[in-house]
Chains A and B, each alone.
Chain A
Amino acid sequence: DAGVIQSPRHEVTEMGQEVTLRCKPISGHDYLFWYRQTMMRGLELLIYFNNNVPIDDSGMPEDRFSAKMPNASFSTLKIQPSEPRDSAVYFCASSLGLVGSGGDKNIQYFGAGTRLSVL
């Protein structure tokens, strides 16, 4: 398997523009997670899905952020309008469902991340 695939790897945009980040999870994984990482705040969970349904979006900073998972192989994280404080590395990760099922099935695999710079 190719692993979790994120695109683009780098995005530079101007304040006020719409930004769309994309993620393809590992085939067969039923959990998908979006994280944001900054020096100041560390690694933050934004939202996660189970079987394409959002389970917890309490980490989404504000209404400018939205995430969708239209099918099992694709998810997007959209920021509209973007602001300089949104500059961060955004990770997508996927896994199988859980603990109790045992061993390596519980591992969460990360994509390479999207480095977003909002000027």
Chain B
Amino acid sequence: AQKITQTQPGMFVQEKEAVTLDCTYDTSDPSYGLFWYKQPSSGEMIFLIYQGSYDQQNATEGRYSLNFQKARKSANLVISASQLGDSAMYFCAMRERNTGNQFYFGTGTSLTVIP
């Protein structure tokens, strides 16, 4: 089974609107971390936001928030007030304690912000 599933290969959003990028994960480890990375066309991988499995509150970082629904094993990224510079690939990732701290990445979602 896939550890991380991103079901939206491509998404479009109007500038200044909010957008949600979906991510579901599969683990039986009670101790894990969830991450979102952004990869613009220039190619670098930029860390956006982190959520620990024991964190009680949803993580937020500026315009980014992570909608963490533990029972559903979902960790969706919400970008508010989209900007043209948000156009990029977005990857969801998970890290488990019991698999030796390895990171698992999803296949990514390509987001295009329309002016």
Contacts and interface: CB of A to CB of B under 8 A. Distances in A.
Interface of A: 31, 33, 42-43, 45, 48, 50, 55-56, 89, 91, 93, 95, 97-100, 102-104, 106-110, 112-113, 115
B52 A103 contact: yes
B45 A110 contact: yes
Contacts of A103: 50, 52
A11 to B, nearest CB: 14
Contacts of A56: 100, 102
Contacts of A108: 35, 47, 93, 95, 103
The 4 closest A-B pairs by CB, nearest first: A110-B45, A106-B33, A99-B33, A43-B105
Mostly, the A contact residues are: strand
Interface of B: 31-33, 35, 37, 43-47, 50, 52-53, 91, 93, 95-97, 100-103, 105, 107-108
A49 B115 CA distance: 44
A104 B50 contact: yes
Contacts of A48: 101-102
B50 A106 contact: yes
Contacts of A98: 33, 95, 97, 101
Nearest to B108: A42
Given A99-B95, A113-B43, A42 B107 contact: yes
Contacts of A89: 43
21 contacts: A43-B105, A45-B102, A55-B100, A89-B43, A91-B45, A95-B101, A98-B97, A99-B33, A99-B52, A99-B53, A99-B95, A99-B97, A99-B101, A100-B97, A106-B33, A107-B50, A108-B35, A110-B37, A110-B46, A112-B43, A113-B45
Contacts of B46: 110
A99 B44 contact: no
A49 B3 CA distance: 21
A98 B33 CA distance: 9
Contacts of B97: 98-100
A98 B53 CA distance: 12
A55 B103 CA distance: 13
